[in-house]
Amino acid sequence: MGQKLTLSVIKADVGGFVGHCGVHPDLLEEARRMLAGCDLLVDFHVTSVGDDINLIMTHRRGTDAEEIHRLAWDVFVACTGLARERKLYGAGQDLLKDAFSGNVRGMGPGVAEMEFEERESEPVVVFMADKTEPGAWNYPLFKVFGDPFNTIGLVIDPKLHGGFRFEVHDLIEHRAVDFVLPEEMYDLLVFIGAPGRFAIKSIYSRQTGWIAATSSTQKLNLLAGRYVGKDDPVCVVRCQSGFPAVGEVLEPFAMPHLVAGWMRGSHQGPLMPVAQRDAHPTRFDGPPRVVALGFQLANGRLLGPQDFFADPGYDRARQIALEVADYLRRHGPFEPHRLGLDQMEYTTLPQVMEKLRDRFRAVD
Ligand code: 13P
Ligand code: 13P
Ligand code: MG
Ligand code: MG
């Protein structure tokens, strides 16, 4: 076709079943029905991770296309209606605005979109997490595109050897900054090592300029000005032939690194890689989890998914995650299991602080 393809992943929590643990099947059915009945898309796949609905869509309208965003918004509004009828938990949780105004960015849903020429073979991985924040992708994305101990291709594949450019967003000050690796690795790590504030938005090959990865970076609580749930981010990564291999892209998740989220969005916990069927966080509303679905794109068609973390190769990561979960849980309300005060400002604490404000007296 020669025409560029856009891969859009747009997600929202519009009501949990039961509590914050899953999505009611009626909502997924409605989302599928609506996307199937629309002629804007080349293909789509509807799925859920925890209580978040993920719309994985291919089309030819580019990123930030109003009609695609409107379609996703309409799906989430319709699903919110079903959630309300069923009195599902937190119906409409992530829809922060009443009316659509051209783009779902800033309205609550998470968006990861990229436009590219489909290569001769185009393997992609869609990562979807529940009970955590966008900065959760910093560690694995750095490992995949910046660390030769993870990605041997950076060393031995001439197509990767030129390195990658990382676009980082400051989620509090709303600024962006680029770093080129390997030269600026230490500078990059100064920022992305603070995932509550800085998140990797996109990554580009320096040799081809092609986009390699992109993630959703909305901060729900900052948008809403109160605690409404965690962001539960998504991330899309292109693989092979000039990009890291599928196995290199999945490898960082063998280490269940600590992320912010879990119960009431207020705790550190291990990010546990799981199969889609196991993506229902229940223990203390967690632990936070991540699903990786693989697709081969064929003229925009989504062949798949391949449910990567169903692999027993990730059993040990799950075991470590559970051991870390046990250890952290024993801290109860104490940091560092509970988030530090600066991060709690964006979660559930401010109202309690406000109530007690007058009880504080000065000491010498
Ligand atoms: P409520 O029980 O007041 O809705 O808040 C808790 C919550 O939803 C976090 O799990
Ligand atoms: P979600 O962000 O997945 O809705 O979870 C909210 C929460 O408070 C869980 O305890
Ligand atoms: Mg929820
Ligand atoms: Mg969620």
Q: How confident is the model at residue 2 (pLDDT cuts 50, 70, 90)?
A: low
pLDDT of residue 160: 97
pLDDT of residue 346: 73
pLDDT at 1 over 60: no
Q: State mean pLDDT over 200-210.
A: 98
pLDDT of residue 70: 97
pLDDT at 232 over 60: yes
Per-residue pLDDT reduced to its tens digit, 259-272: 999 999 999 999 99
Q: State mean pLDDT over 155-169.
A: 97
pLDDT at 3 over 90: no
Residue nearest to atom 4 of ligand 1 (CA): 90
- Which domains are seen in the chain, by residue range? 1-117 (3.30.70.100), 119-354 (no CATH)
pLDDT of residue 352: 86
Residue 286 Cα, ligand 1 centroid: separation in angstroms? 14
Per-residue pLDDT reduced to its tens digit, 292-351: 999 999 999 999 999 999 999 999 999 999 999 999 999 999 999 999 988 887 777 888
pLDDT at 195 over 80: yes
3-state SS of the chain?
A: CCCCEEEEEEEECCCECCCCCCCCHHHHHHHHHHHHCCCCCCEEEEEEECCEEEEEEEECCCCCCHHHHHHHHHHHHHHHHHHHHCCCECCCCCCCCCCCCCCCCCCCCEEEEEEECCCCCEEEEEEEEECECHHHHHHHHHHHHHCCCCCCHHHHCCCCCCCEEEEEEECCCCEEEEEECCCCHHHHHHHHCCCCCEEEEEEEECCCCCEEEEECCCCHHHHHCCCCCCCCCEEEEECCCCCCCHHHHHHHHHCCCEEEECHHHCEEEECEECCHHHCCCCECCECCEEEEEEEEEECCEEEEEEEHHHCHHHHHHHHHHHHHHHHHHCCCCCCCCECCHHHHCCCCCHHHHHHHHHHCCCCC
Residue nearest to atom 7 of ligand 1 (CA): 264
pLDDT at 358 over 80: yes
Which member of 130, 230, 285, 346 is catalytic?
A: 230
Q: State mean pLDDT over 137-150.
A: 98
Ligand 1 pocket test target in 20, 130, 266, 352 with most atoms within 8 Å of CB: 20
pLDDT above 90 as % of the chain: 90
Which member of 139, 204, 227, 314 is catalytic?
A: 227
Question: 13 catalytic, yes or no?
Answer: yes
pLDDT at 111 over 70: yes
pLDDT of residue 77: 97
Per-residue pLDDT reduced to its tens digit, 63-109: 999 999 999 999 999 999 999 999 999 999 999 998 998 999 999 99
**Which residues line ion ligand 4, judged by CB < 5 Å?**
13, 50-52, 130, 232
